[in-house]
């Protein structure tokens, strides 16, 4: 379990810190041109996207962010509720301030970088770790009870 959580955290950290840039140089007899392209271009919000700002759920309409007047159902069945809950494939997460969900249900952070399924995997890993801790505490409690019971008998 610890290995899984560590691997998930390491993968998420590496993905978040990746800064890939392709550089192309072309030479001709007159000019030299260097062009840099960023493979991790930031997402720019479009019509119908949903975000949370200052605790309010907002929808992109006519180029502006406006308060959501009702729950928003996106193209692939993702539902963003007015209270900031996002339900996708039976999983529920809280939309954090500054995050964006586009019309196809993809998540983007404040800087416009895509949030893949790392949030789901991390959440599941934390739940599993919590269950393991709970089980360990129960086992420790049983051992303490047995030790106390054995002392009373003597």
pLDDT digits (tens, 9 = 90+) for 5-50: 677 666 666 566 655 555 555 555 565 555 544 555 788 888 988 9
Q: Residue 96: its pLDDT value, please?
A: 86
Q: How high is the pLDDT of residue 71?
A: 92
Residue 36 pairs with which residues in a beta bridge?
23
pLDDT number for residue 118 = 41
Per-residue confidence (pLDDT) for residue 113, from 0 to 100: 81
Q: Give the tokens for residue 76.
A: 């692939």
Phi and psi dihedrals of 53, rounded to 5?
-135, 130
Measured N-to-C along each axis, helices 2-17 and 118-153 cross at an angle, to the nearest 10 degrees, of: 150
Residues with pLDDT less than 50, the chain: 36-37, 118-119
What confidence score (pLDDT) does residue 57 get? Answer: 92
pLDDT at 75: 86
The Cα–Cα gap between 145 and 15 comes to 46
Q: So where are the chain's domains?
A: 1-15+116-149, 41-112
Beta bridge partners, 34, equal 25
Tell me the helices (H) and strands (E) count for the chain, helix number first.
2, 12
pLDDT for the residue numbered 62: 92
């Amino acid at each position: 379990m610890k290995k899984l959580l560590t691997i998930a955290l390491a993968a998420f950290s590496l993905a978040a810190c990746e800064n890939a840039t392709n550089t192309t140089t072309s030479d001709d007899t007159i000019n030299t041109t260097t062009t840099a392209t960023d493979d991790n271009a930031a997402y720019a919000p479009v019509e119908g996207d949903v975000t949370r700002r200052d605790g309010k759920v907002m929808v992109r309409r006519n180029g502006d962010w406006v308060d959501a007047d009702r729950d928003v159902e996106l193209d692939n069945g993702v539902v963003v509720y007015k209270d900031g809950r996002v339900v996708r494939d039976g999983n529920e997460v809280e939309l954090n301030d500054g995050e964006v969900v586009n019309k196809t249900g993809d998540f983007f952070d404040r800087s416009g970088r895509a949030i893949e399924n790392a949030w789901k995997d991390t959440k599941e890993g934390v739940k599993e770790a919590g269950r393991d801790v709970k089980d360990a505490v129960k086992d420790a409690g049983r051992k303490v009870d047995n030790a106390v019971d054995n002392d009373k008998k003597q």
